[in-house]
Amino acid sequence: MSAMVPYLILAAIVCLAALRVWRRRRRAATPETTLAAVSVPLSDRLHSDVALVAAREIRERTRGRVFRVGTIIILLAVAAGIVIPSLHHNSSSSSPERVAILGTVSAPLRASIVTLGPALGAAVTVASEPDLATARHDLATGHVDIVLNGTTGILVNTSPNAQDSSTTTQLAQAMALTISLQTSLQANGLTPQRAAALTHPTPLPITGLHPAHKPQAGHPVTIYGLILLFVLLSQYGTWILLGVVEEKSSRVVEVLLATLRPRQLLAGKVLGIGLVALLQASLIMAVALGLGSAVGSDLLKGDNPTNVLATVVWLVLGYIFYCWVYAAAGSLATRQEHIQTLSFPLQIPLLLGYITSLTAITAGHASNFVHVLAYLPPTAPFAMPVLVALGQVTWWQFLIAVLLNLAATAVIARLAATIYVRAILRTGQRVRLRDIARSGATITSSPAI
């Protein structure tokens, strides 16, 4: 997979080049109709107006108490999800199972007790106790976990039950079987060394006709990327819907259109909300990575830089694609009651791509259906990073998916701008696509657009 890194960089260069070509075409297609347009470059005026709208959106979103409180809650939840498991893992791994021994026990038997630990994922320490009373006291106070009374019995603090799967219980049960077997063998005339060898025999070698499959490593970054992308699209896509509908319902858009073109207003809104979303997502990722590195979490273990880069690339591509989709849907609504109806169809490809891709990455294998979803722009941001993580996609397939997504984004952006221009001033009832198509010729001929 490291061989795909140059092609991921190439995909990013293609994205930037496509954006630059699109901007040049838009600049060449926009007429200069006023004296002010002659004195001031049109691109500068367009960029300035779009920047003003984007700055307005950023101020409104970040100034709200809901955004600030929600961000703090998310950061606290992320911090708790990283720190608490790490502390629990460190405390459990740093505390070995302590076994106290009464009486005389042979050295091979002591060694057998210690070798039981790695099989249970724990370290085992062995110490001697002078008498039973001291051993019971140390067991009750937590200084030792298990007491071996010679070869006659094992004492623990709480009697285990059938549902008890703790390391202490498993070690006590393994000790009971091992010591009982060695004691029986020694009673039949075998030396302690021979009895220990019989209880820990050398396993037979296992040889396959074919080489072993490469073990599947964990892909935490890909999984977290899927979750983050789904949350971003669900939350901030709704923000775009709400923003467009609120302006239409309050008639603020009529004031804005007195000095702005509809396409500028739409581009500024998408850019502003997009920057707020990326700011919050970047803050969450920075906190997660910083805390993970500080506490020694395995947040990035099992992933290589290719998976991380592919996840970031498709997170950005997917977010840009759906921003324009939600913007087009928002221009069709006139009241907030329409938002739920319009957002539901948009959630279908999100849920399909998210659930299918998450199932594939956890199972360690992608089906043919996932391969198909990786080339469809609505689901490619979810499916393609999974194929990259699983090593089931080549560089040219990755590049084709990127180009298809860029082409679809350009088409959706143009369609969204057209719908926005034709539907932004329609209020009072829900706007339908066939109504917009009928009135398209009249509206597009207006010089204000």
**Amino acid identity for residue 25 in this structure:** R
Q: What is the pLDDT of residue 114?
A: 83
Question: Residue 432 contacts by C-beta under 8 Å, 6 or more apart in sequence?
Answer: 332
pTM: predicted TM-score of the whole model, two decimal places: 0.64
Put the strands of the sheet holding 124-128 in their side by side order: 124-128, 97-102, 146-149, 153-156
Q: Which of 250, 229, 435, 431 is nearest to 342 (CA)?
A: 431
Q: What is the pLDDT of residue 47?
A: 61
**Amino acid identity for residue 189 in this structure:** G
Q: What is the pLDDT of residue 307?
A: 83
- Tokens for 200, please give them: 């820990």
Q: What is the pLDDT of residue 445?
A: 41
Strands 153-156 and 124-128: unpaired
Q: Is the dihedral of CA 373, 376, 382, 386 positive or negative?
A: positive
Question: Residue 197 contacts by C-beta under 8 Å, 6 or more apart in sequence?
Answer: none
Q: What is the pLDDT of residue 440?
A: 54
Q: What is the pLDDT of residue 31?
A: 46
Asked if 284 and 228 touch (Cβ cutoff 8 Å), the reply is yes
Q: Which of 266, 315, 299, 305 is nearest to 423 (CA)?
A: 266
Q: What is the pLDDT of residue 9?
A: 60
Q: What is the pLDDT of residue 135?
A: 86
What gap in Å lies between CA 239 and CA 314, rounded to an integer? Answer: 21
Q: What is the pLDDT of residue 40?
A: 40
How do the pLDDT tens digits run along the chain, 449 residues long? Answer: 445 555 556 566 666 666 666 566 655 554 443 333 333 444 454 567 888 888 888 888 888 788 888 888 888 888 887 777 766 655 555 577 888 888 777 777 788 788 887 777 778 888 888 888 888 888 888 888 888 887 778 888 888 777 677 788 888 888 888 878 777 777 777 776 776 666 666 666 766 666 755 555 567 778 888 888 898 888 888 888 887 777 766 666 777 777 778 778 888 888 888 888 888 888 887 888 788 777 766 565 656 778 888 888 998 899 889 988 888 787 777 677 777 777 888 889 999 999 999 999 988 888 999 999 999 999 999 999 999 988 889 989 999 999 999 999 988 888 888 877 777 666 555 566 666 666 554 444 444 44
Region(s) of the chain under CATH 3.40.190: 95-197
Q: Which of 217, 228, 361, 226 is nearest to 287 (CA)?
A: 228
Q: Is the dihedral of CA 31, 37, 40, 43 positive or negative?
A: negative
Q: What is the pLDDT of residue 185?
A: 74
Q: 3-state SS string over the chain?
A: CHHHHHHHHHHHHHHHHHHHHHHHHHHHHCCCCCHHHHHCCHHHHHHHHHHHHHHHHHHHHHHCHHHHHHHHHHHHHHHHHHHHHHHHHHHHHHCCEEEEEECCCCHHHHHHHHHHHHHHCCCEEEEECCCHHHHHHHHHCCCCCEEEECCCEEEECCCCCCCCCCHHHHHHHHHHHHHHHHHHHHHCCCCHHHHHHHHCCCCCCCCCCCCCCCCCCCCHHHHHHHHHHHHHHHHHHHHHHHHHHHHHHHCHHHHHCCCCCHHHHHHHHHHHHHHHHHHHHHHHHHHHHHHHHHHCCCCCCCCCHHHHHHHHHHHHHHHHHHHHHHHHHHHHCCCCHHHHHHHHHHHHHHHHHHHHHHHHHHHCCCCHHHHHHCCCCCCHHHHHHHHHHHCCCCHHHHHHHHHHHHHHHHHHHHHHHHHHHHHCCCCCCCCCHHHHHHCHHHHHCCCCC
Q: What is the pLDDT of residue 442?
A: 46
CATH of 95-197, one of 3.90.79, 3.40.190, 2.60.120, 3.40.50: 3.40.190
Q: What is the pLDDT of residue 77?
A: 85
Buried b (16+ CB within 10 A) or exposed e, 1-27: eeebeebbeebeeebeebeeeeeeeee
What Å distances lie between residue 166 and 123, 143, 162, 283, 433, CA to CA? 14, 17, 11, 38, 62
What gap in Å lies between CA 391 and CA 385, rounded to an integer? Answer: 10
What gap in Å lies between CA 230 and CA 220, rounded to an integer? Answer: 15
